[in-house]
Amino acid sequence: MKRIKIILLSYAIAFFVFLLLFPVFSYKPLKSAIKNEAFNHLITARELLHHEIEDYFRERFGNVDVLARDPIVEEALVQLSESFNTYGLDSPQYNQTLNRYQSLMEHYVASYGYINIFLVNSNGDVIFSVTREDFTGTNLRTGKYQDFSVGQVFRRGLEEVAFEDYTWNDTKGEFSAYFSAPVYDNHSLSGALIIEIPFSHLDAMLTQRAGFGETGEMYLVGEDEFMRSNSRFSEEPTILQLEIDTEATRNAFEGETGTKIVDDYRGVPVLSAYAPLNLKFVNWIILVEIDEEEALRASHTVEKKLIIFSILIFIITTLYLYFTFKREKKVLPQNQ
């Protein structure tokens, strides 16, 4: 009977000590706090990047509109169009007209970080480009480039400020996108101004990984479900190459802004903060994610320590019982 009391008392003491110390090392509250902190970090990064990207594209949207209304640009389109139609693109007369505007257009390209600027008359003739491209001098209404991005953005740009998504530019060796806007001469439509912007600007925003550890990344997905950025987990470019369909992307395309633990495009569990971009001319979503294993590594460490602590309590209690029984065996014969 005495032995049973000793056993019960020992385990009761051990259990009491465990309950006393457990709140200090409580796993679930700590894991929840760490998870919330990780999500808050992702949300902050998402919002900052969200504004940065929106500001970038809205600035370009405004720039092309302002440039298209510039009297010098309006004059240049009319004068260059006349020289192009009368003498041709490579004539001395055209080059003489070109010299009046070339340096100004080059200044715009350098100042705003564009790849190129084009002037296209209302007939569809590409009458000017700061640097020659394959379609310079061709017709975007009837020529072979009419169905290319530049042809599509030209036609839409005759009516309003328009944007055409990123495509590969063989001449420049990188992805580029276009903005265009109508150009008027005394309220008469003269043609369109087109600017070409590089993907490198967007890529620089998305590859800022300070504070994102080993697995954190920010990326964009277009409405066609293809990436508009490069994955940090791929050595090859993934823009317009990697198709992504996850629970987070589906939620974002439905207009939701939120956070969730989901499997990402690699099939790896991640903490994801997602949202649609608020740009009227493009339907993209933004995601900021980090692997669950890395984000919750601290809680996993505590979990391991808690397990070790529990095992130590069990071992100590067992050893206590062992030596107690051993002492009891020695004492009993003497009493008898």
Q: What are phi and psi of 190, to 5 degrees?
A: -95, -30
Asked if 166 and 228 touch (Cβ cutoff 8 Å), the reply is: yes
Q: Does domain 70-198 have CATH number 3.40.630.30?
A: no
Question: What are the b/e assignments for 183-214, b being 16+ CB within 10 Å?
Answer: beeeeeebbbbbbbbbbeebbeebeeeeebee
* Cα–Cα distance for residue pair 169/151, rounded to 1 Å: 14
The pLDDT of residue 171: 80
For the chain, the domains span 1-62+207-314, 70-198
Residue with tokens 């902050």: 44
* Span 56-66, pLDDT tens digits: 999 999 999 99
The pLDDT of residue 106: 96
Low-confidence ranges of the chain (pLDDT < 70): 1-31, 298-336
The pLDDT of residue 312: 64
**Fold type of domain 1-62+207-314:** Beta-Lactamase (3.30.450)
Topology match between the domains 1-62+207-314 and 70-198: yes
* Cα–Cα distance for residue pair 82/14, rounded to 1 Å: 96
